[in-house]
């Protein structure tokens, strides 16, 4: 927000004028109101593997993160480029594998990757889209320096918080939205429905595409979001026992019998999607759904096997992937990354462990990672043992000087580190990037970990209009 103690950055100028005249007691009361609102409508997430109450309220900070139209225009170009390249890469590795033939990526990185699904080789998803919904995690280190921290194209979550954060801010501070041109995000559910419908199989028996959201059930950490999105876009929320294979199609049970479904927005991981093709013990999937999919009679969003593009070892090759498929240099830079599977890189990481952030290749949610500068000797020693035992499971990155944005602390405004997850919808003829996204904030002073499962919170993200 501030360049110096008495100089405000342009995007925040109107907000800062308003904030300076506000009573802190009133704003703290608004924070309490926001918490009550989230609690009332049940915006929660679950934390696995902990003894205390596993359902929690996600902390929400009422000071928005504000991005200028110029900054957003550049981010949009970079995100669009990246998502197109990822889709082209996924099609390639499940077909001709030209990028492997060209030697731009080591073949073993694909062949030995648990996220690579041989069952998808030669399969053409309806509309040619693999990653229908994507989330690209961005961090900022300077005025014009944005980096992509990771790609989320398997089952990106958090969009419900983006929508509810905005709804809460509109209710609590309507006067701010009359003073500032904040681009809306409310069209996301409608665009999601349209984007999914545009990917329906061409041979659908339905006059209008039927869309369903497949959830693992109420105990899943993101169940609130599954129910919320189904409700918002007018789709059915289904579990595995609601679906069956009927006449070569997936159909859902209704009070009037089985109805064919065209598009399933699945929030069930690949391994549990089809007990006949993957994990035979899965109770979360639909037996035979992969056979229907391979026959082109159902659209699965996102496509099975897209998770390989989330792989953090593959992430380090994204600049090469973008150049290979677009012929352009990456607009958004990658964070420098050491692949611990490589001997020289592992030696460097072990020597500088206390300075680096080390992550599991298939990790998410902030679990299984080490923030070297914040770790004690025992944590460093334990992690070194893990690294030596299975080096290919990890990558390492420098500890970036992440930008901060203000939160409303007890004493007033206080800086905290943030990242940003914009959400992208891909259909055969368009890519829609919602103006904003989910800003996750590390509420603990000095912390770099923004994940809600690790004590982080969220903010509303305002992209200003021209």
Q: Mean of the per-residue pLDDT values for the chain?
A: 91
Find the radius of gyration of the CA atoms of the chain: 22
**181 and 239 together in one domain:** yes
**What pLDDT, in 10s, does the model give residues 315-328?**
999 999 999 999 99
Position 52 pLDDT exceeds 50? no
Rounded-to-integer distance, Cα 18 and Cα 254, Å: 52
**What pLDDT, in 10s, does the model give residues 377-428?**
999 999 999 999 999 889 999 988 788 999 998 888 999 999 999 999 999 9
**428 and 387 together in one domain:** no
192-314-337 Cα angle (round to 5) = 115
Supply 267's token pair: 């929030």
**388 and 419 together in one domain:** no
Rounded-to-integer distance, Cα 410 and Cα 443, Å: 12
Give the CATH number for residue 392.
3.30.1490.270
**What pLDDT, in 10s, does the model give residues 344-381?**
999 999 999 999 999 888 765 556 788 888 889 999 99
Helix (H/G/I), strand (E/B), else coil: 381: helix
**89 and 127 together in one domain:** yes
- The parent domain of residue 58 ranges over 2-335+400-463
Domain final position from 378, 398, 418: 398
**325 and 354 together in one domain:** no
Domains contained in the chain, number = 2
**374 and 425 together in one domain:** no
**What pLDDT, in 10s, does the model give residues 95-105?**
999 999 999 99
Whose CA is closest to 71, among 136, 132, 149, 10? Answer: 10
**22 and 75 together in one domain:** yes
pLDDT at res. 40: 79
Whose CA is closest to 364, among 137, 192, 164, 161? Answer: 137
Rounded-to-integer distance, Cα 459 and Cα 437, Å: 10
Q: How far apart are the first and last CA of the chain?
A: 19
Position 251 pLDDT exceeds 80? yes
pLDDT at res. 452: 63
**322 and 352 together in one domain:** no
Pairing of strands 145-152, 333-334: parallel
Whose CA is closest to 400, among 148, 34, 30? Answer: 148
Pairing of strands 412-421, 356-360: unpaired
Q: What pTM does this model have?
A: 0.91
**354 and 235 together in one domain:** no
Domain final position from 359, 374, 398: 398
Domain final position from 398, 416, 440: 398
**What pLDDT, in 10s, does the model give residues 446-458?**
777 776 666 688 9
Rounded-to-integer distance, Cα 393 and Cα 391, Å: 5
**30 and 159 together in one domain:** yes
**9 and 65 together in one domain:** yes
Helix (H/G/I), strand (E/B), else coil: 99: helix
**55 and 82 together in one domain:** yes
**Quick check: 384 and 356 in contact, CB under 8 A?**
no
Position 167 pLDDT exceeds 60? yes
Phi, psi of 396 (to 5 degrees): -135, 150
Pairing of strands 423-427, 394-398: unpaired
């Amino acid at each position: 927000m501030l360049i110096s103690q008495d100089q405000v950055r342009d995007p925040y100028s109107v907000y800062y004028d308003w904030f300076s005249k506000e009573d802190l007691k009133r704003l703290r009361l608004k924070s309490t109101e926001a918490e009550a609102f989230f609690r009332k409508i049940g915006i929660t997430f679950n934390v696995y593997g902990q003894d205390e109450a596993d359902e929690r309220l996600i902390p929400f900070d009422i000071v928005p993160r504000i991005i200028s139209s110029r900054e957003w225009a550049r981010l949009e170009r970079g995100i669009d480029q990246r998502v197109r390249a990822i889709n082209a890469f996924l099609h390639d590795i499940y077909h001709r594998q030209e990028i492997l033939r060209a030697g731009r990526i080591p073949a073993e990185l694909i062949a030995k990757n648990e996220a690579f699904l041989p069952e998808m080789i030669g399969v053409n998803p309806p509309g040619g889209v693999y990653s229908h919904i994507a989330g690209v995690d961005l961090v900022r280190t300077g005025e014009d320096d944005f980096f992509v921290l990771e790609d989320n194209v398997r089952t990106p979550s958090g969009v419900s918080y983006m929508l509810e954060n905005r709804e809460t801010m509109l209710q609590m501070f309507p006067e701010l939205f009359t003073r500032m041109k904040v681009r809306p995000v409310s069209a996301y559910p409608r665009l999601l429905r349209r984007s999914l419908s545009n990917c329906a199989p061409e041979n659908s028996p339905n006059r209008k595409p039927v869309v369903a959201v497949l959830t693992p059930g109420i105990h899943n950490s993101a169940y609130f979001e599954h129910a919320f999105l189904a409700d918002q876009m007018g789709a059915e929320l289904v579990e595995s026992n609601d679906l069956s294979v009927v006449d070569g199609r997936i159909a859902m049970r209704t009070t009037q019998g089985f109805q064919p479904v065209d598009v399933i927005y699945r929030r069930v991981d690949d391994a549990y999607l089809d007990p006949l093709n993957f994990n035979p013990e899965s109770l979360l999937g639909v037996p035979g759904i992969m056979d229907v999919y391979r026959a082109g009679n159902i659209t699965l969003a996102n496509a099975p096997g897209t998770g390989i593009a989330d792989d953090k070892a593959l992430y380090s090759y994204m600049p090469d992937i973008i150049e290979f498929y677009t012929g352009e240099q990456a607009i958004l830079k990658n964070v420098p990354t050491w692949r611990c599977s490589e001997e020289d890189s592992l030696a460097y990481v072990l020597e500088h462990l206390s300075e680096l952030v080390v992550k599991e290749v298939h990790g998410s949610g902030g679990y299984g990672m080490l923030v070297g500068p914040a770790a004690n000797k025992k944590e460093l020693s334990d992690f070194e043992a893990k690294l030596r035992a299975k080096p290919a499971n990890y990558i390492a990155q420098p500890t970036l000087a992440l930008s901060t944005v203000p939160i409303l602390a007890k004493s007033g405004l206080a800086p905290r580190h943030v990242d940003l997850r914009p959400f992208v919808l891909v259909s055969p003829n368009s890519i829609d990037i919602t103006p904003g996204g989910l800003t996750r904030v590390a509420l603990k002073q000095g912390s770099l970990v923004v994940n809600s499962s690790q004590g982080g919170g969220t903010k509303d993200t305002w992209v200003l209009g021209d």
